[in-house]
Amino acid sequence: MEMDLAQQRQHAHDLLDLLPAAQLHAVQCLLTVMISPEDTLTHSLSLAPLETEALTPETVASLNSARMSLSRGEGIAHDEILREFDIAK
């Protein structure tokens, strides 16, 4: 049986009540962007905290390897990645 709009809204509210604070904040941001994407996305991104996690030596080595691979022209085309993940247009 398909829920009517009022039931769908109530179900969404019930689910929100179950979320821990961090996930609630993420959902709140998502809903804000969904309602008015043209002005809130840029604003939300500008307020997002910068990544502060230190890079491990392994990550630094992987990034350097990837950069060198790209400089040699060994990158993978965007269209190929989309096909690989079955999301090609």
Residue 81 phi/psi, 5° resolution?
Answer: -65, -45
Residue 50, SS3 per DSSP: coil
End-to-end CA distance of the chain: 34
Question: Above 70 in pLDDT, residue 45?
Answer: yes
Q: What's the pLDDT score for residue 34?
A: 74
Q: What's the pLDDT score for residue 39?
A: 66
Q: pTM surpassing 0.85?
A: no
Q: What's the pLDDT score for residue 33?
A: 73
Helix axes 21-35, 37-47, angle to 10 degrees: 140
Q: How far apart are CA 85 and CA 74, in angstroms?
A: 19
CB–CB of 41/33 below 8 Å? yes
